[in-house]
Amino acid sequence: MWKCRNCSAELMFEEVEPDGDAHGLHFICHECGHRNKLINIGKSDEPLKLPQPDD
């Protein structure tokens, strides 16, 4: 699962839909609306394995 960097909510992969825009890949926390950054590891066929950055 993913963890929100803002409110620490733990979100199942099925609950959020990763999105990409000019600023990069991210998902929006359903709890607080925070935009969480994701790393694109270049496997477009495995969108649910996008890791979160460690920072």
For Zn ion, the closer of residues 10 and 40 by Cβ is 10
Answer whether 16's CB lies under 8 Å from 4's CB: no
For Zn ion, the closer of residues 29 and 50 by Cβ is 29
Residues 1-55 that bind Zn ion (CB under 5 A): 4, 6-7, 9, 29, 31-32, 34
Measured CA to CA, the distance from residue 46 to residue 22 in angstroms comes to 21
Answer whether 39's CB lies under 8 Å from 25's CB: yes
Smallest separation, CB 30 to Zn ion (Å)? 8
Q: Which candidate, 51, 42, 53, places its Cα nearest to that of 1?
A: 51
Contact positions vs Zn ion (CB under 5 A): 4, 6-7, 9, 29, 31-32, 34
